């Protein structure tokens, strides 16, 4: 009986002895990997502590901005997300040195000074500066100042072109309440040509097609109307001569039906 048990155990012992080097090798590899990972974590921790930790306010001072503009730039490039009580760092933001922080119930993000050299962030800041410059240039050559409102309409308002007189008189004749050059309720500073409260419809007349700055302004306005999903009717120099057929169809798209009897 003992001899039979030994005959069973001895082969198992031989197998165990034969695989021992492999098991020891695997164990050593795991130890080495754990050691390397630990050293990397220590290095990163030391490196992070060595670097200066900065806030959005400090970054803003470096770029002559305010902290809101800096945080919005981080949101635009995917480094942060806006939340109800501030800003939260994304996974991408964490990879760029961002660290979530909370102070007095508000969420904010702290960054290492390396963010000041981040190409994507710097390009976003430059892009915003370019847009601000373009807005200033547009204000300097404001079309509302360049073309004075000197054309009187049937309802007593003054508009800036004969085409706008036609549009205003047409709306007045159809008893459609409307406003002229009303500020569009969006974040950007923009005014429409005409606004119809019923249906929340904006009307734009594009007349100065040969002016490059006007065309750039036109494309920007169209982009903003699309961005905010606003109801827009566009009229140009060709359509203005066929307004009796054009406007009823366009208004119907937004729920305004005219009595054409």
* Judgement on whether residues 163 and 123 belong to the same structural domain of the protein: no
Q: What is the pLDDT of residue 130?
A: 74
> What is the pairing mode between strands 86-89 and 99-103?
unpaired
Q: What is the pLDDT of residue 12?
A: 62
d(CA 256, CA 250): 9
Domain assignment of residue 15, yes or no = no
d(CA 207, CA 184): 20
How many domains is the chain built from? 2
The residue assigned the tokens 């981040």 is 118
* Judgement on whether residues 165 and 112 belong to the same structural domain of the protein: no
105: left (phi over 0), alpha (psi -120 to 50) or beta: left
Backbone angles phi, psi at 154, to 5 degrees: -65, -25
The residue assigned the tokens 């198992």 is 12
User: Mean pLDDT by 10-residue block, N- to C-terminus, for the chain (261 residues)?
Assistant: 58 66 79 80 54 88 91 92 94 94 92 92 84 62 66 92 95 94 89 94 87 85 94 95 94 87 55
* Judgement on whether residues 190 and 106 belong to the same structural domain of the protein: no
* Judgement on whether residues 151 and 232 belong to the same structural domain of the protein: yes
* Judgement on whether residues 95 and 183 belong to the same structural domain of the protein: no
* Judgement on whether residues 207 and 119 belong to the same structural domain of the protein: no
Domain assignment of residue 37, yes or no = no
Of 97, 122, 140, the one marking the end of a domain is: 140
Domain assignment of residue 258, yes or no = no
Domain assignment of residue 106, yes or no = yes
* Judgement on whether residues 170 and 78 belong to the same structural domain of the protein: no
Q: Are 222 and 213 in contact (CB under 8 A)?
A: no
Domain that holds residue 120: 53-140
Domain assignment of residue 42, yes or no = no
* Judgement on whether residues 90 and 121 belong to the same structural domain of the protein: yes
CATH for 182: 3.40.960.10
Domain assignment of residue 169, yes or no = yes
Q: What is the pLDDT of residue 112?
A: 92
Q: Which two three-digit tokens encode residue 71?
A: 């945080």
Domain assignment of residue 16, yes or no = no
User: Own/partner pairs for 20-26, CB < 8 Å, 24+ apart?
Assistant: none
* Judgement on whether residues 108 and 170 belong to the same structural domain of the protein: no
* Judgement on whether residues 62 and 152 belong to the same structural domain of the protein: no
Q: What is the pLDDT of residue 154?
A: 95
Of 140, 160, 184, the one marking the end of a domain is: 140
The secondary structure of the chain as a DSSP string is -HHHHHHHHHHHHHHHHHHHHHHHHHHHHHHHHHHHHHHHHHHHHHHHHHSPEE-HHHHHHHHT--HHHHHHHHHHTTSEEEETTEEEE-HHHHHTT-EEEEETTEEEEEEEGGGGG-HHHHHHHHHHHHHHHHHHHHHHT-HHHHS---EEPTTS-EESSHHHHHHHHHHHHTT---EESPBPSSSS--B-SEEETTTTEEEEEE--TT-HHHHHHHHHHHHHHHHTT-EEEEEETTGGGGHHHHHHHHHHHTT------
Q: What is the pLDDT of residue 14?
A: 66
* Judgement on whether residues 79 and 177 belong to the same structural domain of the protein: no
C-alpha to C-alpha distances, 5 to 8, 9, 11, 12, 16, nearest whole angstrom: 5, 6, 11, 11, 17
- Degrees to nearest 5, angle at CA 127 with 125 and 129: 70
Domain assignment of residue 35, yes or no = no
Q: The whole model's pTM is what?
A: 0.48
Of 120, 140, 160, the one marking the end of a domain is: 140
Q: What is the pLDDT of residue 50?
A: 46
* Judgement on whether residues 60 and 96 belong to the same structural domain of the protein: yes
């Amino acid at each position: 009986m003992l001899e039979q048990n030994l005959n069973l155990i001895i082969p198992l012992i031989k197998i165990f002895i034969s695989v021992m080097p492999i098991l020891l090798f695997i164990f050593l590899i795991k130890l080495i990997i754990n050691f390397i990972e630990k050293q990397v974590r220590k290095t990163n921790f030391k490196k992070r502590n060595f670097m200066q930790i900065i806030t959005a306010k400090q970054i803003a001072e470096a770029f002559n901005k305010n902290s809101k503009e800096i945080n919005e730039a981080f949101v635009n490039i995917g480094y942060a997300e806006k939340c109800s009580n501030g800003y939260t760092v994304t996974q991408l933001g964490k990879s760029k040195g961002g660290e979530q922080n909370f102070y007095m119930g508000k969420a904010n993000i702290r960054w290492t000074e390396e963010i000041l050299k981040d190409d994507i962030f710097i390009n976003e800041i430059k892009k915003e500066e370019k847009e601000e410059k373009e807005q200033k240039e547009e204000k300097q050559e404001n079309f509302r100042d360049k073309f004075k409102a000197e054309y009187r309409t049937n309802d007593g308002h003054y508009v800036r072109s004969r085409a706008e007189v036609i549009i205003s008189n047409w709306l007045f004749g159809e008893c459609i309440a409307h406003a002229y050059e009303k500020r569009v309720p969006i974040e950007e500073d923009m005014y429409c040509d005409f606004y119809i409260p019923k249906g929340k419809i904006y009307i734009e007349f594009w007349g100065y097609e040969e002016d490059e700055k006007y065309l750039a302004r036109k494309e920007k306005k169209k982009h903003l109307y699309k961005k905010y999903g606003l109801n827009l009717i566009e009229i140009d120099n060709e359509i203005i001569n066929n307004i009796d057929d054009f406007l009823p169809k366009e208004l119907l798209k937004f729920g305004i039906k005219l009595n054409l009897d």
